[in-house]
Structure 1
Amino acid sequence: MADLQKLIKNIEQWAEERNLITGATPQKQFIKLMEEFGKLCSGIAKNKKDVIKDSIGDCFVVIVILNKQTHSKFDFMPLPYLVLDRSGIDIWIEKCVAKFASISEKINYTGKANRHFEYDFAYTLYCLINISNEYGLTLESCVQTAWDEIKDRKGRMINGVFVKESDL
């Protein structure tokens, strides 16, 4: 638990240093979430565990940034203690998509966090935890993988989107 807390703080600081919190919009960040979720779905379709692990971590990173951008008071720490459910990958993908639609609607119409927004974050992460569990992974290991990949990443903001240096 302490390691996940530290990773969340690191992600928030990383995002602040790259001007992602105030220099980007939740709408742009949501598009990034969809990009990462697409990679997750591709990894699942191709049964590529390394892509699945990285993509779950990347989705988590984006949700941490969205949480900060929207001033949500969502508390990530109870997540590792949720009871896992073996409903199957297809169900968890479907439930993620439903929650993403709800998050998108709230971002586009209110732009502000509320109790229901926090519930959407929680349920989305619950789905990601269950997906990771299906592949013998933990949320923490997925987030650690993503953090190790981005921690030294440099880049710049272009039209409200952080573009990594290697893509410039």
Structure 2
Amino acid sequence: MEYLELLNKVEQWAKDRALDTVEARTQYTKLIEEQGELGVAIDTGAIDGDSGVIDSLGDYQVTLIIYCLIRGIDLRGKIEKQGKFWTKDVDGMYQLLGEDGISLTTSQKFIYLVYESSQLIGKYNRNKGVAEEYTSVAQIMLSLYDIAREYGTNLEETLNIAYHEIKYRKGKMINGIFVKEADLNGKN
């Protein structure tokens, strides 16, 4: 399944559950939750399985796609312009580099991701507009891409895994937050 098709499916999944109507800060909270899980996975070396790096990369993208949907950020347009950048490795040409021109460590790439996601909500809070937020989203995607490369995967593969994990998920909105059915029933 190609990345844009997955993006469309995630957007439709979100619309079907009215997640596109929640306040942007609420969705940003979910984004940071997934970011925390990614950080723990990187720190502990958990690559596969629930809350491993691969799972967390996909979950982070799902929450970011929904944030973009809420804010009207044209993530699809950026992906269409950049082509394979978002999905397949393109000879490492989009690698994050430090000031000295040397590739960053995975931990440094994660710190950059945290920085850019902080910039995203900061721009939202200061009413900088969607164009400014879009810049942060592009940098977040670059960080996710580069972290995925470190683990021998790509954004398309990880989003595919995440989508197949959520596509039949049911739940309900409680105070503007989607709570999955398993959590409503006390199972996790």
The normalised TM-score by structure 2 is 0.83
Provide the C-alpha distance between the structure 2 equivalents of 1:158 and 1:49, rounded to a whole number of angstroms: 32
Report the structure number with the largest CA radius of gyration. Answer: 2
Q: 2:4 aligns to what SS in structure 1?
A: helix
Provide the C-alpha distance between the structure 1 equivalents of 2:176 and 2:83, rounded to a whole number of angstroms: 30
Contact in 1 for aligned 2:35/2:114 (Cα 8 Å): no
Contact in 1 for aligned 2:172/2:180 (Cα 8 Å): yes
Deviation at 1:164, TM superposition (A): 0.3
Q: Paired residue for 1:28?
A: 26
The normalised TM-score by structure 1 is 0.92
Provide the C-alpha distance between the structure 2 equivalents of 1:79 and 1:132, rounded to a whole number of angstroms: 17
Q: Paired residue for 1:145?
A: 161
Deviation at 1:109, TM superposition (A): 2.8
Between 1 and 2, higher relative CO (CA 8 Å, sep ≥ 6) is seen in: 1
Contact in 2 for aligned 1:80/1:139 (Cα 8 Å): no
Gap regions ≥5 residues in structure 2: 96-102
How many correspondences in the alignment? 165
Question: Which amino acid letter does the alignment assign opposite residue 20 of structure 1?
Answer: L
Deviation at 1:112, TM superposition (A): 4.3
Gap regions ≥5 residues in structure 1: none
- Provide Cα deviations, 1:33-86, integer angstroms capped at 9, x if missing partner: 000011101111111111100100111111111111001123234263262324
The match for 1:127 among 138, 143, 148 is: 143
RMSD of aligned residue pairs (Cα, Å): 1.6
Q: Paired residue for 1:80?
A: 84
Q: Paired residue for 2:6?
A: 7
Identity over aligned pairs, percent = 31
Q: Paired residue for 1:45?
A: 43
- Provide Cα deviations, 1:85-132, integer angstroms capped at 9, x if missing partner: 242212211111111111111222328412x21110011010011101
